[in-house]
Structure 1
């Protein structure tokens, strides 16, 4: 089945992280802000440093605006002077990832973690690059390395990615354990909720899936995808009245032109009032 990069109301059941790009850029922006205040990791603030940071800032902006080739130009221009900066290597890796050049991306993520061994975000993205290339053992080790980093601010991502890797290998028990670990770190993390929901449905544990989705909606009350999964699970349990209430809520919440809104409308035509 295909991976999804789109919004959570998409009906496909598989959710891809694609390195959770927005978060990566947000944290990267913090690094740039600190540097703009003179926090240059102990380095004197020279004209060369200014050019490096300016080009990295510009590359980050291009990536945020879906222009990875323009970002690549900025990074290539400072490669000789910024090559020993782990943040530069990380940004370079993200850029190659956006260009679907996973081998190139992995090379730069490797450089990033060799320069800063506790760089958990780089370990996580290295794992994703390995997974995309089918190198599952290396991917597993990279995700585990990210999770073993105590300073990792967003471990739910690496836990989810590892759960997905295990699911793809048919290791459903391990996948469930890691999906739950992801939710321990962030109870409202929708990709992990949906992954765990898929695993529970496949194991015919529908009521458990309903309970888990209900908890997820307490943390993310406006998440249409979670509403849809919950409503469909209620139908599986024969609880049509409750399911209808959730489909009505979707109809009132979702973009009227979205697939989720259309699905809700279709169900509402069929379900008794």
Structure 2
């Protein structure tokens, strides 16, 4: 099984929390009215930038986030969103720098910031630092989506080669949100790999009921069905894969 969906967990976390980020920058100005105007202008441009980032307009996202940082280089939000933009532009060094600056500037980093920072660290292979960031997010009692951070810890532990420990975090994600598709998928995949095919199937069905299917998830469905000699499941998932995602790598493998 490919690992691309495993990383889709992290990228989905980024997309999911952007809309939940505060529209009020956590830094303040002490430079009088002109300084206050700069802070407001930075916040306005940062929100425009992150909106364009969400919609995939990276050129406009960069334009407005550059303006935000020009108005107020110490803006936590602008640095946070600029780090996300640099990730999308595949500049990991710059993303790391801006994430670290946002965390440094914030007296109490938001759980969304720490989750995003952890997601970045996990993606570039700094698993221990990533897990620390996720756990920092989880310590905030006001964190509205802890299932993301729990799932990301599990992802990092899986990448580190500790799938048994990862499973406990995926279950904690489901305790926070029993229908959280990303954690359900992870459990389906891990149980398939450990040859507990019945349990893998049960988690896959729950995933299917709560999240959009993808080429990777349909391939996993096919693999689980074959392991259980469930010809109906194999046929259904194979046909869906070939019909809905004919150009995917998974469909090519089946062909």
TM above 0.5: yes
Task: Return 5+ residue gaps in structure 2 as ranges.
Answer: none
Q: Which residue of 2 aligns with 1:9?
A: none
SS in 2 for 1:152: coil
Q: Could you tell me whether the CA contact under 8 Å between 2:245 and 2:251 is conserved in 1?
A: yes
Q: 1:82 aligns with which of 72, 77, 83?
A: 72
Structure 1 residues 122, 214: closer, same or farther in 2, change over 3 A? same
Matched, 1:194 2:185: yes
Out of 123, 129, 132, which is 1:138 matched to?
Answer: 129
Match of 1:110 among 93, 97, 100: 100
- Of 157, 160, 167 in structure 2, the residue corresponding to residue 176 of structure 1 is 167
Partner secondary structure for residue 19 of structure 2:
helix
Q: TM-score scaled to structure 1, two decimals?
A: 0.73
Which residue pairs with 1:100 in the alignment? Answer: 90
CA distance in 1, matches of 2:116, 2:26: 24
Unaligned runs of 5+ in 1: 5-11, 267-273
Q: CA deviation at 1:240?
A: 1.8
CA displacement at 1:259 relative to structure 2: 4.0
Which residue of structure 2 aligns with residue 17 of structure 1?
10
Give the TM-score normalised by the residue count of structure 2: 0.78
- Counterpart CA distance in 1 for 2:201 and 2:187 is 11
Mapped to 1, the partners of 2:181 and 2:19 lie a distance apart of 19
SS in 1 for 2:229: coil
Q: Quote the Cα distance in structure 2 between the aligned partners of 1:155 and 1:79.
A: 29
Q: Which moved more, 1:178-187 or 1:227-236?
A: 227-236
Q: Is the 8 A contact 2:49 2:65 kept in 1?
A: yes
Aligned CA-pair RMSD: 3.6
Counterpart residue number, 1:59: 49
1:193, 1:25 → 2: CA distance? 22
For residue 205 of structure 2, what is the aligned residue in structure 1? 214
Relative contact order (C-alpha < 8 Å, sep 6+): which is higher? 1
Specify whether residues 211 and 78 from structure 1 end up closer, same or farther in structure 2 by C-alpha distance, changes over 3 A only. closer
Q: Residue 187 of structure 1 aligns to a residue in which SS?
A: coil
Question: Take 2:90 and 2:237, find their aligned partners in 1: how far apart are those partners?
Answer: 38
Deviation readout 1:119-177 (Å, 9 max, x if unpaired): 11111121122223332221121111122222122222222221111111111111111
